Amino acid sequence: MYYRSFKRLVQYHPENSDEERVEKLSEAKQHFLDITAEVCPLTFVKARLALERIAAGDRLMIRLNSGEPLENLPRSLVELGYSIVSLVAEEGASVHRLTVAKG
């Protein structure tokens, strides 16, 4: 199943202290991109363009469909050096929310 292989993609970045972590998270901005109406390869193109536009340390929440986008987008973003923060299925599990951190 895909979720088992996805666990290997998640990159954890331990912080030096809780205070530093809270400060970094409060400074970071959350951005949103809905690509549920798109098909591959436009899902990847739009996600990459959005990530290039945000500042380092910010996060992008991407709303995407299950299937090909869910299988390919997280893997491709990790290969480009982005960190996957979370992957959550919305009710019904046909749409997911992928949160990506720009390092």
- Provide the domain limits for residue 66: 2-101
H helix intervals, 1-103:
2-6, 18-27, 42-53, 68-79
Instruction: Enter the pTM of the model.
Output: 0.72
We report the CATH number of the domain holding residue 23 as: 3.30.110.40
Question: Would the pLDDT of 7 be above 60?
Answer: no
Cβ pair 54, 29 in contact under 8 A: yes
More confident call, 102 vs 28: 102
What whole-number distance in Å separates Cα of residue 25 and Cα of residue 30? 10
Domain count, the chain: 1
| pLDDT tens digits, one per residue of 17-48 | 444 444 444 456 899 999 999 988 899 999 99
Q: Is the pLDDT of residue 72 over 60?
A: yes
Residue 57 has phi, psi (to 5 degrees) of 95, -20
pLDDT in tens, 43-70: 999 999 999 999 998 999 999 999 999 9
**∠ CA(55), CA(100), CA(21), 5° rounding?**
70
Rg (CA), the chain: 14
